[in-house]
Amino acid sequence: MSTLENTVSMMKTLPETDLLEIQSFTRKLFQRRESEAADEAVGKFLKPMSREDIMKNIEIAEQEIADGKYRSADEVFNELEHRYRL
């Protein structure tokens, strides 16, 4: 008997409340697997970074913000609301 067949035969004897718990657990497990797969897929496109690299990038970003090279999301959304009369 395969693992699936064995599992299904055991589940046939369970009450509905237990089946609902199993369904909830299975859904959570599936969502976690989906998240892990997505993380792995994204990770293939990102270069590995050390803590020092991350901290350096943060410092550069903070300086660029201070220099006015970027606008806050609030500014951008306000401009879009005004431009398109939202």
30 and 52: one domain? no
53 and 72: one domain? yes
Q: Can you say whether the dihedral through the CA atoms of 14, 18, 24, 30 is positive or negative?
A: negative
3 and 30: one domain? yes
42 and 54: one domain? no
39 and 56: one domain? no
54 and 34: one domain? no
pLDDT tens digits, one per residue of 19-57? 999 999 999 999 999 999 998 998 888 888 999 999 999
* Domain count along the chain: 2
- Phi/psi region, residue 85 (left: phi>0; alpha: psi -120 to 50; beta: rest), is left
57 and 16: one domain? no
Please tell me the pTM assigned to this model. Answer: 0.46
56 and 28: one domain? no
Comparing C-alpha atoms, which of 72, 51, 73, 69 is closest to residue 61? 69
pLDDT-based confidence at residue 71 (cuts at 50, 70, 90): confident
Residue 52, pLDDT score: 96
Where in the sequence is the domain holding 42, given as residue range(s)?
Answer: 1-46
Residue 72, pLDDT score: 86
13 and 26: one domain? yes
42 and 1: one domain? yes
Residue 58, pLDDT score: 95
